[in-house]
Amino acid sequence: MDAETLLSQSQDIASKITHVLQKRTQIAQRHLNERVTETLGLDHDGAPTASAMPAPFDPLSAWQYTVDAAQRSLLFWDTLYRRGNEFVERSVSGPAPVLHFEYDMVLDGRTFERPVNYALLQLRPLEGVGVDVRKRPYLIIDPRAGHGPGIGGFKDDSQAGIALRAGYPVYFVVFFRDPEPGQTLLDVCNAEQLFVRKVRALHADSPKPAIIGNCQGGWAAMMLASSDPEETGPIVINGAPMSYWSAAWSEGEGDNPMRYAGGMLGGAWLASYAADLGNGKFDGAYLVENFENLNPANTFWDKYYHLFSNVDTEPPRFLEFERWWGSYYLMNREEIEWITRNLFVGNKLWSGGVTNSSGQAFDLREIRSPIILFASMGDNITPPQQAFNWVADLYGSTEEIKSRGQVIVGLTHQNIGHLGIFVSGKVAKKEHKQIMSVLETIETFPPGLYGMTINEARNAAGEIEYEVEFHERRLEEISAHFNRFGRIDEKPFEAVAAVSNLNQRMYELLARPFVQAMSNETSARLLRQFHPLRWQRWAVSAMNPWLGWLPAAAQSVRENRQRAAADNPWSKLEHNGSQMFSASLDYYRAMRDAGTEASFFSVYANLYATYLSKPGADGVAAQAGAIDPRELPFVRTALQAIGDGGYTEALGRAAFLLSRKGGSLPLARLEMRKEIAESYVEYLPDISPDHWRRIRGEQEIIVSFEPDEAIATLPKLLSHSEDRERFLQLLDKLASDERVLNTAPDAAQKEAFERIRAVLGSRESRKRNARLPDPTRT
């Protein structure tokens, strides 16, 4: 590429970056102004409103506020003192899972042939609620991202709690603080496969277990499901960064700073360095610190001020969360390097670039059970693009999803943050409960991509009820909706991967020998103990002899508590000052993230354009996007087999021909279809659900591209008289079924039904004026 072209590209990149940076800056400034105006109670002209005028600052209110603030300060520090003591106790005894429920250990991975620090727990039934062993078991996999396990069962209203209250057997995959010597992520995957097989053995008469993967636990769920598809039921992955390079990069949308971290730090070498300093173990506190740095307002001020201002009621909730947030777990060097190289920087899981312990690539297309993806538009750690884009990368088109018999359902929340996906009671009672309630129905879906919506309604008693609907989507439309720039912003991450590989090799060659020579178990333990997140906890605990007076003083304050009045002007001034400080930290975060984003693209977009981009690549991409779908290999294969098959293929073809196209699919309608299918099970093929979905998807492709020939070749599929008779019997029975008669067919269904009957012939006993069925997707 000549210098003139390079200069032109660089100017174009700089122009785009500057434009987006200006937008980010304007949005940050507007948000700051809105916070300040709201805090000070100003109107549009900047004048204070009547409600914003403070009460008189008299000496009595000042004294009352001073006493209240002093007492709250003592109680605040006493709460941190209790947090520190709990942290020290957990550190000595070994932190336990923060599960809200009692449990029994079923398998301990530390005893396996390849030991891992993982275990399988079974949650005990709730008091007064029995567990039906014939129901589908649920297996929850929590993320190993620095914290300990248990967030999926953190409280009564949680993923685990919802399932237990519905009478389902619930199992939990947990892990211990210290990894086993030499364990790798592939060892962990093998252990989780043994866990699934154990659950299957304990519930041999139940449907296959549903696998719930939270955040990075979603990787584990997908890896074990692709490795052992025969053993797993539906897969639900919540907030899982499956396609880590993806995110939103457009005007007016929030940026996603986590995806830029690897590039700004030079790649995966820093994780290796930290693990070497830890004498072969990576400290999860570094990961937690990264999460905390995402939101400095909450980390350094908001959560502590909320405790301070509500210190009479807030400590139990604060301490409960800190038990999980303040527990830091370790990983082996091999584990963190595998994660950073393959999943974060490499982005290889969906592409088949990751191999299992047998040397075979993880192929997510081998998963045969339905996959449910749950993400949130308000998640800046795992935005919806990271949760959904792997589908477009893996399958490429809607037709390929159908041809492979796969069912993928997407659900998005509008504003909840990353942690809220797992810990919010409201999300548990709404989204997680509804996902659990429709899993069996989803298994009856024909292959394709679906959007799931949950609508709220109030019944006659005023109670909130939820109505679930599904809409079939095209992959191409969903990809365009979430990626307005056509994912061109992901190209620079190829440069990140190249730089990361270079830095990793340089570190291993030039620095690692010296770092490992200077590290030992004593130095590693000291580094962990004096990590800022640990130090701030044990320094405010009974380990600090200067704070021995604090518990007694706090108890005295509780016995003589004097609260300031709610309308005390000094309290209002304190609150306003807190809001202003929080707004300033949010403004700093917005400007920092905007600057980081601009710096990232300034460096790596130019590196990609200079060294990695191929001339004419845009033109090739545009040409590829214009390929006739008929030329796709799986479409050609399906059309070539249009006259091949038998009764099963004919049934799948007729199911799509007679289905209602377009519109929403209310849950009640889907449940009716399932009920009808169960009523005529003797007419349905005796094959596995995944095999039926694959046949159903192939027949849908045939009908979509060759509808006339699809009908004309039905007699070939039903060449045996007994098959044709059985097929016609099923149509006639459906035509007279009262449940079917309550649905009015549209014009397309009427025409398809008549054409099928005409090409197959009529049975003499059939009434010509029978109302038409709606046997959609049976």
Q: Which residues contact 711 (CB under 8 A, 6 or more apart)?
A: 657, 752, 755, 756, 759
Q: What average pLDDT does the segment 11-15 reach? A: 88
Give the long-range contacts of residues 572-577, CB within 8 A, separation 24 or more.
Answer: 572/54, 572/55, 573/54, 574/65, 574/69, 574/309, 575/309, 576/39, 576/40
Per-residue model confidence (pLDDT) at position 767: 42
Examine the domain organization and report whether 416 and 462 are in the same domain.
yes
Q: Are 586 and 31 in contact (CB under 8 A)?
A: yes
Q: Which residue has the tokens 């192939």?
A: 698
Query: What domain range is 652 assigned to?
Result: 629-760
Per-residue model confidence (pLDDT) at position 603: 93
Q: Which 8-state DSSP code applies to residue 177?
A: S
35-39, 203-207, 730-734: lowest mean pLDDT where? 730-734
Per-residue model confidence (pLDDT) at position 683: 84
Say yes or no to pLDDT of 619 above 50: no
DSSP per-residue codes, 494-533: HHHHHHHHHHHHHIIIIIHHHHHHH--HHHHHHHHHTSHH
Instruction: Count structural domains, the chain.
Output: 3
Q: How far is CA 354 from CA 86, 246, 332, 343, 462, in A?
A: 40, 19, 19, 9, 52
Q: Are 148 and 177 in contact (CB under 8 A)?
A: yes
Q: How confident is the model at residue 766 (pLDDT cuts 50, 70, 90)?
A: very low
Closest CA to 559 of 75, 139, 211, 215: 75
Say yes or no to pLDDT of 57 above 90: no
Q: Give the separation between CA 467 and CA 475, rounded to whole angstroms.
A: 24
- Is residue 27 in a domain? no
Examine the domain organization and report whether 291 and 243 are in the same domain.
no
Q: What average pLDDT does the segment 477-498 reach? A: 87
Examine the domain organization and report whether 154 and 239 are in the same domain.
yes
Closest CA to 652 of 594, 750, 569, 727: 727
Q: Are 199 and 224 in contact (CB under 8 A)?
A: no
φ, ψ at 634 (rounded to 5°): -70, -25
Mean pLDDT of the chain: 87
501-505, 634-638, 731-735: lowest mean pLDDT where? 731-735
**The token pair that represents 481 in the structure block:** 């909706």
Q: What average pLDDT does the segment 177-189 reach? A: 92
Angle at 406 between CA 452 and CA 360, to 5 degrees: 130
Q: Are 64 and 562 in contact (CB under 8 A)?
A: yes
pLDDT: which is higher, 618 or 129: 129
pLDDT: which is higher, 757 or 512: 512
Q: Residue 438: which CATH number?
A: 3.40.50.1820
Examine the domain organization and report whether 515 and 603 are in the same domain.
yes
Examine the domain organization and report whether 445 and 349 are in the same domain.
yes
Of 373-387, 479-493, 624-638, 666-680, give the range with the top mean pLDDT: 373-387
Per-residue model confidence (pLDDT) at position 318: 95
Q: What average pLDDT does the segment 20-32 reach? A: 90
Burial string for 143-162 (b: 16+ CB within 10 Å, else e) reads: bbbbbbbbbbbbbebbbbbb
Half-sphere exposure at residue 48, Cβ-oriented, CA atoms within 13 angstroms = 7
Q: Is 102 exposed, middle or buried (0-12, 13-18, 19+ CB in 10 A)?
A: exposed
Q: Estimate the share of the chain in helix, then strand, then coil, as percent rounded to the nearest 5.
A: 55, 10, 35
Of 18-22, 53-57, 509-513, 704-708, give the range with the top mean pLDDT: 509-513
- Is residue 556 in a domain? yes
Examine the domain organization and report whether 359 and 504 are in the same domain.
no
Q: What average pLDDT does the segment 711-729 reach? A: 89
Burial string for 316-332 (b: 16+ CB within 10 Å, else e) reads: eebbebbbbbbbbbbbb
Per-residue model confidence (pLDDT) at position 175: 95
Q: How confident is the model at residue 451 (pLDDT cuts 50, 70, 90)?
A: very high
Per-residue model confidence (pLDDT) at position 772: 46
Q: Which of 470, 488, 506 is the last residue of a domain?
A: 488
Say yes or no to pLDDT of 260 above 80: yes
Q: How confident is the model at residue 488 (pLDDT cuts 50, 70, 90)?
A: confident
Examine the domain organization and report whether 212 and 129 are in the same domain.
yes
- Is residue 225 in a domain? yes
- Is residue 47 in a domain? no
Q: Which residue has the tokens 């990609």?
A: 608
Closest CA to 381 of 246, 219, 222: 246
- Mode of pairing for the β-strands spanning 464-473 and 281-283: unpaired
614-618, 636-640, 773-777: lowest mean pLDDT where? 773-777
Q: What average pLDDT does the segment 230-252 reach? A: 84
In three-state form (DSSP H/G/I as H, E/B as E, the rest C), the secondary structure along 426-482 is HHHHHHHHHHHHHHHHHCCCCCEEEEEEEEEEECCCCCEEEEEEEEEECHHHHHHHH
Instruction: Classify 275 as helix, strand or coil.
Output: helix
Give the long-range contacts of residues 425-430, CB within 8 A, separation 24 or more.
Answer: 425/155, 425/156, 425/157, 425/158, 426/157, 428/157, 428/158, 428/159, 428/161, 428/162, 429/157, 429/162, 430/454, 430/456, 430/466
Q: How confident is the model at residue 286 (pLDDT cuts 50, 70, 90)?
A: very high
35-49, 181-195, 531-545, 552-566: lowest mean pLDDT where? 35-49
Examine the domain organization and report whether 484 and 570 are in the same domain.
no
DSSP per-residue codes, 668-718: HHHHHHHHHHHHTGGGS--S-HHHHHHHHHHHHHHHHH-HHHHHHTHHHHT
Examine the domain organization and report whether 418 and 552 are in the same domain.
no
- Is residue 681 in a domain? yes
Q: Which of 446, 471, 488 is the last residue of a domain?
A: 488
Q: How far is CA 574 from CA 73, 80, 309, 503, 579, in A?
A: 13, 21, 9, 49, 9
Q: How confident is the model at residue 549 (pLDDT cuts 50, 70, 90)?
A: very high
Say yes or no to pLDDT of 249 above 70: no
Q: Which residue has the tokens 């290796």?
A: 272
29-38, 250-259, 469-478: lowest mean pLDDT where? 250-259
Q: Which residue has the tokens 């191929």?
A: 614
Give the long-range contacts of residues 27-36, CB within 8 A, separation 24 or more.
Answer: 27/252, 27/590, 28/587, 28/590, 28/591, 28/594, 29/587, 31/586, 31/587, 31/590, 32/583, 32/584, 32/586, 32/587, 35/579, 35/580, 35/582, 35/583, 35/586, 36/580, 36/583
Q: Give the separation between CA 468 and CA 435, rounded to whole angstroms.
A: 9
- Is residue 227 in a domain? yes
**The token pair that represents 106 in the structure block:** 């079923």
Per-residue model confidence (pLDDT) at position 763: 47
**The token pair that represents 263 in the structure block:** 């590039």
Q: Give the separation between CA 760 and CA 724, rounded to whole angstroms.
A: 8
Which stretch of DSSP H or E encloses residue 413?
strand 407-413
Q: How confident is the model at residue 627 (pLDDT cuts 50, 70, 90)?
A: low
Per-residue model confidence (pLDDT) at position 315: 96
Q: Are 267 and 499 in contact (CB under 8 A)?
A: yes
> In this structure, how many other beta carbons lie within 10 angstroms of the beta carbon of residue 68?
19
Q: Which of 469, 488, 507 is the last residue of a domain?
A: 488
Say yes or no to pLDDT of 552 above 90: yes
Which stretch of DSSP H or E encloses residue 123?
strand 118-123
Q: Give the separation between CA 692 and CA 7, rounded to whole angstroms.
A: 56
Of 131-135, 560-564, 623-627, 665-669, give the range with the top mean pLDDT: 560-564
Each residue's pLDDT tens digit, 420-433 = 898 888 898 899 99
455-459, 566-570, 604-608: lowest mean pLDDT where? 455-459
Say yes or no to pLDDT of 486 above 90: no
Residue type, 489: D
Q: Give the separation between CA 485 and CA 712, rounded to whole angstroms.
A: 44
Examine the domain organization and report whether 228 and 162 are in the same domain.
yes
Half-sphere exposure at residue 694, Cβ-oriented, CA atoms within 13 angstroms = 12
Please, what is the end-to-end C-alpha distance for the chain in angstroms? 57
Say yes or no to pLDDT of 777 above 50: no
Residue type, 180: E
Instruction: Classify 211 as helix, strand or coil.
Output: strand
- Is residue 63 in a domain? no
- Is residue 91 in a domain? no
Q: At what angle do helices 433-442 and 667-679 cross, to 10 degrees?
A: 40
Half-sphere exposure at residue 706, Cβ-oriented, CA atoms within 13 angstroms = 18
Can you give the pTM of this predicted structure? Answer: 0.89
Q: Which residue has the tokens 């460096």?
A: 603
Per-residue model confidence (pLDDT) at position 52: 58
Closest CA to 202 of 222, 231, 164: 231
326-335, 444-453, 668-677: lowest mean pLDDT where? 668-677
Per-residue model confidence (pLDDT) at position 501: 94
Examine the domain organization and report whether 315 and 343 are in the same domain.
no
Instruction: Classify 41 as helix, strand or coil.
Output: coil
Examine the domain organization and report whether 413 and 343 are in the same domain.
yes
